[in-house]
Structure 1
Amino acid sequence: MKQALGLFLLLSAGASTTLAQTYPPVEVFKSPTCGCCSKWVEHLRSNGFTVNAHDVSDVNTERKRLGMPERYSSCHTASVGGYVVEGHVPAADIQRLLKEKPKAIGISVPSMPLGSPGMESPRPVSYETLLVGKDERHKVYARH
């Protein structure tokens, strides 16, 4: 019985390591003084992503360089697997994006809704993750 439990634990540990390695690294561009951005980075890391956080003086410049239209902006921008991720997008939505691989610029949670990852609050609000197409139009990708 002990051998079976040990083998299960060994296999489980290997599976979680393999899972974490299946996601491409996330490059995050954020203000050095933004606490909610740092909390979002930790949310991604706790969900299996490797994150390289870059403190920049102008997030808007990075957003524009990556191709996300300003109307979908938030306090930080990121890139992963050829997509732009704007704002407090839940890790599960990013995982879905990387699995489905839609033809799109990326996904966005515009603004900074209370209750989104990094914006935890005792009074969360409903919000949507938007899929931003190559034509810069969007559709609802997920509701939270």
Structure 2
Amino acid sequence: MKRSLLAFALLSTVTGTALASDVINHKSPYCGCCSEWAKHMQESGFTVKEVPHEDMAPIKAKFGVPDNLVSCHTAQIDGYIFEGHVPADDIKAFLADKPSDAKGLAVPGMPMGSPGMDYGDKRQAYSVIQFNAKGQQKVFNQYKAL
């Protein structure tokens, strides 16, 4: 009986983790870097479904992405929003903690060297910003220029 309960508990945990790794990536049908970010996510163990939109502004407004954090694509994962070229490792760390007051993470703009914006071994310095529904923001992680 104890083994059955343990097996059920483990299966429930694995199933919950699998569901949390499903990504819906809203993007322009003309943006190649968005698809490159999706490949980065897939290579990191996520399942990605791309949803093309001719106009991304209404999508960003619907999900409450602050204007100063806007990038090219907007992803949904486990009820959170991930705007732009957020590294998969940062998303994994965020989802492992699941801060109740956070709406998601964002990498504003399209910094060279961020996932999907690869340019050899070069990278601009950039920050991953955590934001909430009230518009409050804080640095979640920072990447130095290379």
TM-score, structure 2 normalization: 0.82
Question: Structure 1: how far apart are the matches of 2:75 and 2:92?
Answer: 14
AA at the equivalent of 1:137: Q
- CA RMSD of superposed structures (Å): 1.8
Tell me, what secondary structure is at the counterpart of 1:21?
helix
Gaps of 5+ in 2: 1-13
- Deviation beyond 3 Å, 4+ runs, structure 1: none
The answer to whether structure 1 residue 46 and structure 2 residue 13 are counterparts is no
**SS of equivalent residue, structure 2 residue 50:** strand
Residue 108 of structure 2 is aligned with which of 102, 107, 110? Answer: 110
Identical amino acids, percent of aligned pairs: 40
Question: How many residues align structurally?
Answer: 128
Equivalent position of 1:35 in the other structure? 32
| Structure 2 residue 86 is the aligned partner of structure 1 residue 92 | no
Name the SS for the 1:143 alignment partner.
strand
1:79: which partner in 2? 76
* Counterpart for residue 125 of structure 2: 126
**What is the Cα deviation at residue 21 of structure 1?**
2.5
CA-to-aligned-CA distance 1:87-130 (integer Å, 9 cap, x gap)? 00000111111111112111000000000000001331111100
Structure 2 partner of 1:11: none
Residue in 2 that maps onto 1:58: 55
Code of the residue aligned with 2:110 in structure 1: it is: M
Paired letter, 2:108: P
